[in-house]
Structure 1
Amino acid sequence: WISAEFALTPDITNKKTLRSVSKYALTDITLDFEDGTDIYWARNQVGERLANVVKDLPANISGGMAPITTPLGEMLMFTIEGGDLSLAERRSLLDWVIRPALRTLPGVADVNSLGGLVRSFEVVPDNAALQARGISQDQLQRALETNNRNDGAGRLGDGEEVLLVRAEGAIKTLDDVRAIVVAAKDGMTVRVGDVAAVRIGSMTRYGAVTKDGKGEAVEGLVLGLRGANAQKVVDGVKAKLKELAPMLPKGVHTEIFYDRGNLVKRAVRTVTKALMEAIGLVGILVLLFLGNLA
């Protein structure tokens, strides 16, 4: 993290301060710029230096810049309720159906998924089986990494027609994982299922979401783009959630428990009331003043 922090520091115009926090295998680096600095210019400067740092980081380390929002950019919060879905199923529904749809809306910077269990394929090596076949855990890991992707295999021309050839290797089921070839020795093919147990599991959790003291829940948090009209963003998100409702499993629905639109409406009513009272007071004072002149 020190190398990343120092690489971002020099030669950035209008930079005020730099802070970094590391915990739970996560690192957050924050750069503050002078007021009035164009945010897109600032992000471009940071992005260039971040790209130079990434290549020097250890393998399997990933990261990027946060969305263009503010600490007060939380526009709407909702939970997934109803049905007999497990926490893992609710989280998958949020990650793969609801979140991608909401991120397409104008004014939405991002949608954070909170709570639940993120499903994953777990491969538990059988050390005895690996040793018996002369295979290392590194070989098993490389086989899993290189066989979980789709690749283009070129084109086949036939007169005026062209056929696109593609190899589909993305893992979709447990059987797909078990069928991955790890090694071929003495005419025998060794697959993942021969040297490891494959099962459905979940990624490491660093927190949880509870609601009303009734147990864990799965929450979606909509972040508004900096400078976006909060009321329009909230209205657009609500409309999209209604549009998605028929696509959800039977009995499952989204329940909104925080709405920035309500705050905006109350603020507008408060300002309107204050203005009307001020106008009335000024009118009374003007009448009294004119009456004294008469």
Structure 2
Amino acid sequence: MNLIRLAIDKPVSVSVVVLLTLLFGLLALMSIPVQMTPNVDSTVVTVSTFWEGASPQEVEQEIVDKQEERLKSVSGLKKMTSQSTENSATVALEFYVGVDKDEALREVSDKLREVPAYPENVDEPVISASNPQDRDYIAWIMFETTDPELDIRTLFDFADERVKPQLERAEGVAEVNVLGGMEREVQVRFDPIRLAQLGVTYGQLADALRSENVNVSAGSIDSGKSSVRVRTVGQYESLTDIEQTVITYTDGGPIRVGDVAEAALTFKEPGSFVRSMGQTVMAINVQREVGTNVIEVMKDLKATIERLNETGGMLDAQARKLGLNGTLRLRQVYDQTIYINSAVQLVIKNIFIGGGLAIVTLLIFLRSVRAVGVIGLAIPISIIGTFVAMVAARAKPERHQFGRAGVCGRHGG
């Protein structure tokens, strides 16, 4: 009753407090980040093992099965998944919320020591810990072309060296990955018969290529008040440079790489592939920085994509450079903010419906417009005031928190 009497005796002070609550609540709502789901402090431990030259079946039988047999008894384990690919194995262990990360890493390391001996040439398993929130990708973007003769995957170098840095400059972007492309590489294809005829071994060929393709610092030369740095440049600049490399010397003269092999510029076998509508494509995924506003990050990211796609932009210039019979552009196929905006609008709609029903119900029973008006004002004030507390707690307005604010507001009414 003292609080009610105070409000009646000091209406100006109460009005000021209410207005300040509304003001700071609205400022807080505009300043705090927005994201789709809450941060969950669960721990994921990943075990990566490399075995060069092994098939996926061999990796599964000789590495993954043995590791899973030991790791399944780790305390606090919620879920374990594995992936066996050519040359490597990955086992991911997700722990329940509250499990200490350092303790989980220690126990996983101890269990791996119990694994029976691995086959020869298997590298030591690498253990790392991460949070599921760290893999929160807010956008997926695909490269598209109207030229039917172009394999879009061959543009990996352009995507990685030109497009990727542009997207990384967008405000709030933490990481950009290019997937499904084919990276250029130089292959030296040797003729084993020719090697045998000239008495050259594969090791000699490999050593010659490795030792010649380097830049070496030769120190500096002091000349009075000035100092000149000396550097010998030996890295290959063309296929001809590779084929002119001397492997060894014989009585008949030098034996060069071109005498036993052919250098060719080609593409690496892709380590991953992306398919869309039945077609193999190249894609980009984007990860935001932790604590940033997804909506603001997406606005800047979309502006960057639009700038790259515009006539005369980077993609248009690349299409002309390649002589494409069509266009080259980026198309965003996943946008996390669509789901965020939809969820927020749904919660706001429910708040209005719930608040309206509460007011109508009170009006039916109280039959006093004045009393219901006071209670009706309390609903939005309490909801908006909640955001001040959220800022103080460094929280983010997620779907479940909007819902709670609506419940608290109607209950407060």
- Work out the percentage of aligned pairs sharing the same amino acid: 27
Aligned to 1:232: 296
Residues 1:189 and 1:261: Cα distance change in structure 2 (over 3 Å):
farther
Q: How does 1:70-149 map to 2 (within 5 A)?
A: 70=133, 73-82=136-145, 84=147, 85-105=150-170, 107-149=172-214
What CA deviation, in whole Å up to 9, does each residue of 1:8-39 have, x standing for no partner?
A: x8xx9998887653322222132445535787
Provide the aligned length of Structure 1 versus Structure 2.
281
User: C-alpha displacement at 1:118, in angstroms?
Assistant: 2.3
> Which residue of 1 is the match for residue 89 of structure 2?
27
Kept in 2: contact 1:73–1:225 (CA 8 A): no
Q: Is the 8 A contact 1:80 1:90 kept in 2?
A: no
1:255 and 2:322 are equivalent in the alignment: no
SS at match of 1:183: strand
Q: Distance in 2 between matches of 1:182 and 1:106?
A: 51
Asked if structure 1 preserves the Cα contact closer than 8 Å seen for 2:186 and 2:266, the reply is: yes
Q: CA deviation at 1:187?
A: 7.6
> Which structure 2 segments of 5+ residues have no match?
1-48, 50-62, 111-119, 321-326, 372-413
Cα contact 1:75–1:233 (8 A) shared by 2? no
Structure 1 residues 237 and 292, CA gap change in structure 2 (3 angstroms) = closer
How big is the alpha-carbon RMSD for the aligned residues of Structure 1 and Structure 2? 4.2
- In structure 2, C-alpha distance between the alignment counterparts of 1:195 and 1:150, rounded to whole Å: 25
Counterpart for residue 288 of structure 1 = 364
Q: In 2, Cα distance between the equivalents of 1:242 and 1:227?
A: 25
3-state SS in 2 of match to 1:205: coil
CA distance in 2, matches of 1:38, 1:147: 50
CA distance in 2, matches of 1:142, 1:182: 8
Q: Distance in 1 between matches of 2:139 and 2:131?
A: 16
Taking the aligned partners of 1:31 and 1:60, their CA distance within structure 2 comes to 20
1:67–1:110 CA contact under 8 A, matched in 2: no
Q: Provide the rounded CA distance (Å) in 2 between the counterparts of 1:152 and 1:74.
A: 42
Letter in 2 for 1:24: E
Separation in structure 2 between the aligned mates of residue 186 and residue 58 of structure 1, nearest angstrom: 39
CA distance in 1, matches of 2:342, 2:335: 12
- Match of 2:296, SS state, is helix
Q: Which amino acid aligns with 1:179?
A: Q
Which of residues 200, 203, 224 in structure 2 aligns to 1:159?
224
C-alpha separation in 2, matches of 1:66 and 1:130: 48
Bigger Cα Rg: 2
Work out which structure has the larger RCO, using CA pairs closer than 8 Å and 6 or more positions apart in sequence.
1
Deviates more, 1:230-239 or 1:64-73: 64-73
1:218 pairs with 2:297: no
Instruction: Provide closer, same or farther for how the CA distance between residues 177 and 22 of structure 1 changes in structure 2, counting only shifts above 3 A.
Output: same
> Could you tell me how far apart the structure 2 residues matched to 1:267 and 1:152 are?
59
**What is the match of residue 40 of structure 2?**
none
Corresponding position of 1:275 = 351
> Within 2, Cα distance between the matches of 1:198 and 1:184?
21
* Contact 2:248–2:255 (8 Å) recurs in 1: yes
Cα deviation 1:236-290 (Å, max 9, x = unaligned): 3223334444223134221112111212211221121112212222222222232
Distance 2:186 2:130 in 1: 29
Residue 127 of structure 1 deviates from its aligned partner by 1.3
Structure 2 letter corresponding to 1:291: R
Amino acid paired to 2:84: S
Match of 1:210, SS?
strand
Question: Aligned partners of 1:60, 1:116: CA distance in 2, in Å?
Answer: 27
Amino acid at match of 1:217: V
Q: Which amino acid aligns with 2:87?
A: A
The code of the aligned residue for 2:139 comes to: L
Aligned residue identity for 1:231: I
Quote the residue 1:200 is aligned against. 265
Distance 1:132 1:141, change over 3 A: same
Partner Cα separation in structure 2 for residue 28 and residue 275 of structure 1: 45
| Deviation of 1:210 (Å) | 3.3
Shift of 1:196: 0.7
Does the Cα contact within 8 Å between 1:69 and 1:109 map onto a contact in 2? no
